[in-house]
Amino acid sequence: MPLLLTIPLLPSSAQDISQIAKSDPLIITGAVGTRNTYYHSTGSMGYASPLSNTIYANLNVSVYGFSMPFSFYYSNDNLDFNYPHLSFNVSPRYKNWQLYFGQSTMPFSSYVMTMPFNGVGLEYQGDRLRAGMFYGRLRKAVNDDPTDPLARTPQYKRMAWGFKVGYGSTRNYIDLYLLRAYDQQKSLDPGWHEVLQPQDNLVVGLRGAVSVKRFLSFTANASTSVFTADKTSNRVEDSRLERFDKVFTARNTSMARFAGDISANLSLKGFNAQLFYRMIQPDYTSLGTYYLSNNYHSLGINVGTILFRRLSLSASFSGQEDNLTNKQLYTTRGLVYNANASTRIGKHIGINAGYNGYRQTQADGTARVNDTTRVNRIMHSVYFMPSYSTYTDKLTHTVSLSTNMTRNEDLNRFATGESDVTTYAAGLSYNIGVVPWDMDFTTSFSHQRSDGYQSRYTSDIASLTTSRAFLNEKNLTAALTLSLCYNEIRYKMKSLSLGGDISVGYTLNKVHVFGLMAGISKYGDVNITRRESGLDDTEISVGLNYTYTFSLFALKRQAEQGKKGLDVQWGKRARR
């Protein structure tokens, strides 16, 4: 039976050292609980284990505001994480300075670094001047036995260091970024070296903004990356590059690429607009970011306004094209456009409506596009969602309707329509709340139909839910849901399921929380053209949960209301 022990030391927020003297010296709190589930299905497609049992415990130690949570988790069906995991993070702050130690994230340009690092960092944030630097690990090595046929995909240990410096306000500023990231070849077994090559990277980024008055501003964000796909390849012998050897060594597999964007922003009373352009060259890579799309440029505009203080309108249009160096077989172009509107009529009626569209076409690259296979697709989506709400001291009513139509169509003149799909969806719900009873009733119905090439899929779902809180403290809650679902594939399948779910929750003395959940459903093929049809299969699930929260020890300050000294408490809540 697998066991997961987690000991993360992760503060919820950076600790301001200047406020340490005002924080409580020591507070120890925690929780223990269990989740137990029984599942049974007479069908052949059961998706869960018959019995599932989980025990967990959390302990949080707070020392002068530094939070150090410890957790323990045990499950009989957890087969993925069966090893201990340890992570640590402390981010103290003193006036304008902040220290990063452990697993941390430092803000950088989106083209330079977006990944967290495990190491040390220091950041200064003044009124105008700002700066920061870090050193740490971006990812661990995965180093299984190369001869094992079930070995995990290998990866090198990746280290990085970087710094940033900037000056200015939120409207007028300039920031410079530098990142140096590299793989450590010795972190992998030599048997992997021919399969996977270590990489090397240097990224320099520049970001800035200039404002004209208070209504017009220009922003830019650009980066240049020098990326080496194999740091074991031969170095480039060039005297002009020798001056950079202490920072980065150019090799035969190195390449320099550019990524950036620029925008003009207009903001007037009741109206705003943005015009933007973005370009990312082919093979642009930064080892400090997750996957970043490249080899494309795009141009677009966003506008928005508010009319009559009630009607909000927005629209956008952008075009994108890849194959910047004309080395791909084909060039793909895309247009994205949308318009949205929302308003309120009086105090009770709200309306949202909109349209989304996408057009994709294909043009020649190094090869000429065949007209019979040329990509030429369009997608339309229209939605309309009105709602009505009213409130009184005793009753609340809410009615909402949602409708949507999506059309995906192949516009190639040789297309047969086999990939065209049109989907219609509509949903209606009504909720009534009985305030004196602290009780809600909700009924809903949704319908969806998808029409494809000589096919049609239909789904209808209806449900009724009620919930209520009991006792004087409202610490006993109960909810009941009844549902019906019908699915049909024309000329092939008709299925029906009927289900009911009930849940009960009870809180005792604010520290003991009990939960019981149970559900049953009957389902099956109801196509009358078949000999054996009906609700022949049954699915049953029952769950029981319990959580106990406690305050084990508290050493608190008593500076408020003229008190002095410390107040020591030992599990007072637990003794109650």
Confidence class for position 9, pLDDT limits 50, 70, 90: very low
Q: What is the identity of the amino acid at 373? A: T
- Contact between 266 and 215 (Cβ < 8 Å): yes
Say how far apart CA 85 and CA 94 lie, in whole Å. 30
Mean pLDDT of 391-406: 95
pLDDT band for 102, please (50, 70, 90 cuts): confident
Q: What is the mean pLDDT of residues 374-387?
A: 96
The region, left, alpha or beta by phi > 0 then psi within -120 to 50, assigned to residue 309 is left
Residue 337 lies in a domain: no
Residue 496 domain flag: no
Distance CA 136, CA 141 (A): 14
Q: Is residue 551 a part of any domain in this protein?
A: no
For residue 168, tell me if it sits in a domain: yes
Tell me the pLDDT tens digit for each residue of 502-517: 999 999 998 999 999 9
The phi, psi pair for 276, rounded to 5°, reads -135, 155
Is there a domain that residue 426 lies in? Answer: no
User: How much is the pTM?
Assistant: 0.78
**244 phi/psi in degrees, rounded to 5:** -100, 5
- State residue 148 phi and psi, 5-degree precision: -80, 120
Question: What is the SS3 assignment for 152?
Answer: coil
CA–CA separation, 108 and 176 (whole Å): 9
**362 in a domain, yes or no?**
no
Sign of CA dihedral 504, 507, 508, 511: positive
The answer to the question of residue 244 being in a domain is: yes
Question: CB neighbours of 121 closer than 8 A, spacing ≥ 6?
Answer: 99, 100, 101, 104, 106, 132, 133, 134, 135, 136
436 part of a folded domain: no
Residue 28 has phi, psi (to 5 degrees) of: -120, 115
pLDDT in tens, 18-59: 555 566 677 888 899 999 999 888 876 555 678 888 888 888
- Quick one: which H or E segment has residue 217? strand 216-228
More reliable by pLDDT, 77 or 373: 373
Strands 3-9 and 85-90: parallel
Look at the chain and report how many structural domains it folds into.
Answer: 1
- Please state, in angstroms and as integers, the Cα–Cα distance from residue 389 to each residue in 50, 271, 341, 471, following that order: 44, 29, 19, 28
Average pLDDT over residues 383-396: 94
Residue 294 has pLDDT above 80, yes or no: yes
Alpha-carbon torsion 549, 552, 558, 559, what sign? negative
Range of the domain at 271: 104-118+125-282
